[in-house]
Chain A
């Protein structure tokens, strides 16, 4: 029924470095891909390759160069589109420290929805990330993993059709990271939202995604597109031991590091 891709980029080109005196540098050139509704796509690549720039373009925070086509639900992206939520790696700077957890999650709904509706959405979002009992806590009282959950809850509160995540678990310890990965997969299954996930962790990309896009080169383009056929629901132990997982991981590794 919904054959139109959620996201579509064609011949995307991007420059960065608008600071005074600094020449603009082309980071992405001729990047083309599409993301289907309900798909989980990861963008992989070495650090500095332009993954975050690409995600910021999808989020409407960075303008692609002239001639590029970036469409969300068939419409050109100019500024943050409605229905898209972005989760930053740096949760500390993204949450408002003077607001409680619930008030942080409510922020995007304020002025848009009546109070009862907002409360219900906040409760629902906090429930999804398992923080229902910490609604009245201040962000700094929570661990890093929990703060990142608050940010994810805030992203979910507006019921996005697409969730963009910029290395969301990059600053967390391995155990917390595994927990949050599984929670994200549950949310992904429960909401049917489309996810575009930037990471530099091969295992994480393969474990979570339907498809892994690998960016490489200067300027970077998509050098490989690796589908992951592991069935869902996935679990940390069984999925990571399955042949499909190992195969996909092997291929991503091959693309990034050579043989």
Chain B
């Protein structure tokens, strides 16, 4: 986040200000923003916040990490070999079309209500943009580049790590950027649906126990996590693209 994005937040600040001025403190739907922060700590619930945030970040991070490893590996295999692409293409199209929320009941059935189940659902949702970007990145490489690697008699490992991966890195990073908000949304959604730990589970709990101010406060926390994570990914992407263009800038 740079100071340049601050003016962009003005409408949001104005909205919250109006809400504070016009809202009634007793409203069951729109509690004034000033009541949100204290609501986090009422009835000794304050101790749950930090562990929940950490849980959410862990599920999100682990899910995105596994999705990246899996997506890049499969994407390269599919991109390099036309046979592999044809063999798994239709299956992937089907799996990609499944809404992640529809996977949740199956995942809980197979894996139970725990952390691995959450991670699996996040991986299944975040995998596709990374996989598809990687495979099309490989397919769009100039044939000369792969011929070069072959004619220099580079080993398979060296071809992948010294030639292929660096060449498709911008495509991979773009895929990760697309996958990041998806992974976070799905993390919160799974937590909300299954009540297994994390900020999403706390939102569900606050909602079921009629604590509207607490719901809003938790949503603000989720928004802040998302903001931080997205700006992190963006700065990584900027770093990668700057390295590609080199020192010309």
- The interface of chain A, by Cβ under 8 A from chain B, is 56, 59-61, 79-80, 82, 84-86, 88, 90, 93-94, 96-98, 107-108, 110-111, 138, 140-141, 154, 158
Of all A-B residue pairs in the complex, the 6 with the closest CB atoms, nearest first, are A93-B142, A93-B144, A108-B152, A86-B151, A94-B148, A138-B246
Q: In the complex, what distance in Å separates the CA atom of A108 from the CA atom of B163?
A: 12
Q: In the complex, what distance in Å separates the CA atom of A101 from the CA atom of B226?
A: 41
Q: In the complex, what distance in Å separates the CA atom of A110 from the CA atom of B157?
A: 12
Distance of B1 from chain A, by nearest CB (Å):
29
Describe B's contact surface by its main secondary structure: helix
B154 CB–A CB distance under 8 Å: yes
The answer to whether A140 touches B248, judged by C-beta atoms less than 8 angstroms apart, is yes
Q: Which of B144, B167, B248 has the most CB of A within 10 A?
A: B144
| Chain A proximity mask over B196-240: 1 for CB below 8 Å, otherwise 0 | 000000000000000000000000000000000000000000000
Chain B interface residue count, CB cutoff 8 Å, equals 21
The answer to whether A107 touches B144, judged by C-beta atoms less than 8 angstroms apart, is no
24 contacting pairs across A/B (C-beta < 8 A): A56-B147, A59-B151, A61-B147, A80-B153, A85-B152, A88-B148, A90-B142, A90-B144, A93-B142, A93-B145, A94-B144, A96-B162, A96-B163, A96-B167, A97-B246, A98-B246, A107-B152, A107-B154, A108-B153, A138-B246, A140-B248, A141-B246, A141-B248, A158-B152
| Chain A proximity mask over B128-142: 1 for CB below 8 Å, otherwise 0 | 000000000000001
Q: In the complex, what distance in Å separates the CA atom of A186 from the CA atom of B151?
A: 24
B244 CB–A CB distance under 8 Å: yes
Q: A108-B154, A111-B158 are in contact. Are A138 and B142 (CB under 8 A)?
A: no
Chain A residue with Cβ nearest B169: A98
The answer to whether A80 touches B246, judged by C-beta atoms less than 8 angstroms apart, is no
Give which listed residue, A59, A84, A98, A110, contacts B244 with CB less than 8 A. A98
Describe A's contact surface by its main secondary structure: loop
Chain B residue with Cβ nearest A100: B246
Chain B residue with Cβ nearest A18: B82
B155 CB–A CB distance under 8 Å: yes
A96 CB contacts on chain B under 8 angstroms: 162-163, 166-167
Q: In the complex, what distance in Å separates the CA atom of A49 from the CA atom of B199?
A: 67
Q: In the complex, what distance in Å separates the CA atom of A61 from the CA atom of B145?
A: 13
Q: In the complex, what distance in Å separates the CA atom of A129 from the CA atom of B109?
A: 66
Q: In the complex, what distance in Å separates the CA atom of A140 from the CA atom of B144?
A: 17
Give which listed residue, B147, B162, B167, contacts A107 with CB less than 8 A. B162
